[in-house]
Structures are given as structure tokens and as C-alpha cells.
Structure 1
Amino acid sequence: MRKRAEFLAARGGKRLQGPHFLVEARDRGDGEAPRFGLTVTKKIGNAVVRNRIRRRLREAIRTGAADGMAEGYDYVVVARRDLLDLPFETIRAELARRFSRVRARADGDSAPDTRPKDRARAV
């Protein structure tokens, strides 16, 4: 993905938070190959640091994490600073885990939500 409109459209999809990055995924509905985009803000560091993080993320996706991507989806990975010092295998494993969660939801095979339910307070 290269256009701003594509990145903004992905914001309307599923959001998977994590300690090292955020993944936003949106179903395009066309069933074609998945696409991805990377966001590394200036808060993270100078251009050298941001580009190093982008290269690590691209390589992690290329070497195995892309296998978990669902067809017809756009993915945006919003990086955080600690990706710079994280072992490469951890980056790849975390990305693959997030992508497979999106794929499971897309296939309808998602596990039940185990988060605590919101409870109404007595007034």
C-alpha cells in the first residue's frame, strides 16, 4: 500500500494491539492477494532508526509472517520504538500471531472472546 487513502481506509477495520506494534486490518472484499503498509512515526527516532525498523518489519513479513495473512485484506502495522532492540524471531512470531488472528476471524473460526464482559453498574 502506498496511498494515504488506503492507510486511512484500513483504520476502519479490526485493530489488534500489542506491546511492540499495532495491526489494523480491513477486508477489501475482493479476494485478491493481501496488501500491507508500515507506519513508523517521527516520535520513534530519526530517519535512520525509522528505516531500520521498516526494514526489519518488511523482512519479518517476507520470511514467514505473510503466510498468516488473509486473502482480500489490507494490513497496516504501526511500529513502536522497542522493535529496534527486539530479537528478529520475536518480531516474526508476533506478526504471524496477529495476522493469524485476523485470518481466523475472517474465516469465522475465531475462538470465543475471553475478555471480561462490561457489567452495568447499579445506580
Structure 2
Amino acid sequence: MERLKKRPEFLAAARGVSRAMPGLVLQARDRGDGGPARVGFTVTRKVGNAVTRNRVRRRLREAVRLTMPPLARPGFDYVVIGRLGTIARPFDLLREDLHRALDAVHRRGPQGAGAQGARSRPARRRR
């Protein structure tokens, strides 16, 4: 699975479907090109200091590595966002959160997350 690295790729994924779970938030968007699925990770300073953020990011990366390959769809970009509770959440529950979030974003609409109008409200632009 490839990685998202550039800001415009993350912003494009934010315009897709988003699902919040206790341990993470998953954003997904269909690129429409049928290429390999790509994933990016975001952990803000609200979660903690640099050491804590890096631990959260490592836990999310491992959950994605173990959970996503059979569930991710080709041509989709995914952004996994760490939350305050990610660090304390048991790893098996974190993986379950990711699995449920993936199911939810792909159930939405006839063509999954890439369907036009899939989001009920437009994404806010943050400063």
C-alpha cells in the first residue's frame, strides 16, 4: 500500500467521506484511477507532545498494515487521523475501529466514498 505525502493529497481526501470511531477518524476518497490504494496519517498536537504523537502514529501504521490490505479498494485514498483516545485504546479495539470505519465509508452511496454528493455537508477550511 502506498503512502500519501503531499498536503493537496490530504486535502483531497478530506473532501471525501469521513467516519469517526473512538480510536480514530478515517477519511476516504475515490481517485477514480483504479491505481493502488494509498494511505496517509495525521496526528495533531492536541493528542500530545512529539513522543506521544509518534507512538500514536506507529500504532495507527501497524493497525493499517494488519487490517487494511484485504479491505482497501483500488483507486482510493485514505487518511487515518489519530485521536486523544488512540494511545490508551487496546490494540485489538483499534483494529476493530479501523475495520468498522472502512466498512462504513465503502457502504456509503452506490459507488462508495467517491460518489458525488456523498458528503452531507461541505468540508470546512481550517486556518
The separation in 2 between residues aligned to 1:106 and 1:51, in whole angstroms, is 34
Q: Which amino acid aligns with 2:57?
A: R
Aligned length: 109
| CA RMSD of superposed structures (Å) | 1.7
The separation in 2 between residues aligned to 1:86 and 1:18, in whole angstroms, is 11
Is 1:16 paired with 2:19? yes
The separation in 1 between residues aligned to 2:109 and 2:65, in whole angstroms, is 21
Q: Deviations over 1:27-80 (max 9, x none)?
A: 100111111111100111111100000000000111123321121110111111
Report 1:71-82 matches (<5 A): 71-82=74-85
Q: TM-score, normalised by structure 2?
A: 0.78
Q: TM-score, normalised by structure 1?
A: 0.80
Contact 1:15 1:25 in 2 (8 A): yes
Contact 2:68 2:99 in 1 (8 A): yes
The separation in 1 between residues aligned to 2:84 and 2:69, in whole angstroms, is 22
Q: Which amino acid aligns with 1:18?
A: M
Q: Name stretches of at least 5 consecutive residues in structure 1 with no aligned partner.
A: 110-123
Q: Identical aligned pairs, as a percentage?
A: 46
Contact 2:24 2:97 in 1 (8 A): no
The separation in 1 between residues aligned to 2:109 and 2:76, in whole angstroms, is 9
Partner residue of 1:68 out of 50, 71, 86: 71
SS at match of 2:69: helix
Q: Which amino acid aligns with 2:89?
A: L
Q: Give structure 1 regions of 4+ aligned residues with deviation exceeding 4 angstroms.
A: 106-109
